[in-house]
Amino acid sequence: MEIVVEAPAKLNLFFEVLAKRNDGYHEIETLMCPVDLYDTVCFREDPSGQVTLECSSDTEFGDSGSENPDVVSRGVGMGDLPSGRENLVWQAVDLLRRKAGVGGGAHLRLIKRIPTAAGLGGGSSDAAAALLSANEGWSLGWSREELMPFAAELGSDVPFFLVGGPAVCRGRGERVEPAAGLGDLHFVVACPPAGLSTAAVYAACCPADRAREVAPLVSCLQAGNVEEAGRLIFNRLQEVAETLSPWIVRLGGQLEGLDCLGHGMSGSGSSYFGLCRDARHARRITERLGANGVCSVFAVRSCR
């Protein structure tokens, strides 16, 4: 039997860098929101005991992987897809197999739709989906709480995708506090043809003397004040990213002129998003950006 798990992308609606940690990571505070642009992870038991992975990009007809008819995509930038031990999907399943003492193997399929090196969390989401699929496929019966330490070992953003739904994440990202009641949010997401190195962006970023707080943005969204929330979108890494990629400034200028409620970079870039009034507004901006030559553009909505 094949187990199929959908892996959503995420947007960072708020991102503050608080300090450099002794372990080399940065202390952060971020509000992350999953959106209905999905990769797909498929798991099938393999009695040979080997863990194998095959990868493909599903870009035909701009397929976003979402059943939501409002999701629109224009072009996809995937880059190279590692299909061995370098891939977090393989690492996640192998880690769970070793921790659980499973003697069998697995054959995995990863269908990519989320652009890579874009700050959309595709790799981390894939890893969380791989843990969930292997947990079910091997009939381990472990709870998500029991899987959480493995998620944190795999990467800073992986625990967020195990929790599901919007959340405020702290520490290096592994401390996840669900943020309920943010409403149904619509976005346009633009991904330039060139990504950014997470390490390079963080290396050039200096924490602010006075950190901003995420609470006002969360409160606005919970109160349904989306217009005010748009003005509170913030990413401390964006100023640095703008010096590394001219696309960040270009996309910000374009979305500023297209009546978005707010806009900003997701994660360490290079994807850039705008908060829209509704699905129709998001579709219209997607078409405008596509006509302006932006490589990959998606109209999406928040999801769980």
User: Which of 39, 157, 184, 278 is the catalytic position?
Assistant: 157
Confidence tier at 68 by pLDDT (50, 70, 90): very low
Q: Which of 22-36, 58-72, 199-213, 253-267 has the lowest mean pLDDT?
A: 58-72
- Asked whether 112 and 40 are in contact (CB, 8 A), the reply is no
Q: Which of 127-131, 152-156, 194-198 has the lowest mean pLDDT?
A: 194-198
Tokens of residue 54, six digits? 């095959």
Bridge partners for 31 per DSSP: 14, 168
Confidence tier at 199 by pLDDT (50, 70, 90): confident
Q: What is the pLDDT of residue 60?
A: 42
186-301 sits in which CATH class?
Answer: alpha beta
Q: What is the pLDDT of residue 26?
A: 80
Q: Left, alpha or beta for 105 (phi > 0: left; psi -120 to 50: alpha)? A: beta
- Cα 192 to its chain centre, rounded Å, is 16
Domain ranges (residues) in the chain? 2-61+78-178, 186-301
* Beta strand segments in 47-94, E: 51-57, 72-74
Tell me, what amino acid is at 15? F
Say whether pLDDT at 23 is over 80.
Answer: no
Confidence tier at 62 by pLDDT (50, 70, 90): very low
70 in catalytic set: no
Instruction: For residues 195 and 118, give the distance between their C-alpha atoms in angstroms, rounded to a whole number.
Output: 6
- Asked whether 157 and 90 are in contact (CB, 8 A), the reply is no
- Asked whether 235 and 205 are in contact (CB, 8 A), the reply is no
User: Which of 10, 36, 94, 112 is the catalytic position?
Assistant: 10
Q: Which of 13-17, 30-34, 148-152, 295-299 has the lowest mean pLDDT?
A: 295-299
Confidence tier at 69 by pLDDT (50, 70, 90): very low
For residue range 161-194, what is the model confidence (pLDDT) as tens digits? 999 899 999 998 999 999 999 999 999 999 988 8
39 in catalytic set: no
For residue range 243-259, what is the model confidence (pLDDT) as tens digits? 998 999 999 999 999 99
The dihedrals phi and psi of 265, each to the nearest 5 degrees, come to -85, 145
CATH fold, domain 2-61+78-178, is Ribosomal Protein S5; domain 2 (3.30.230)
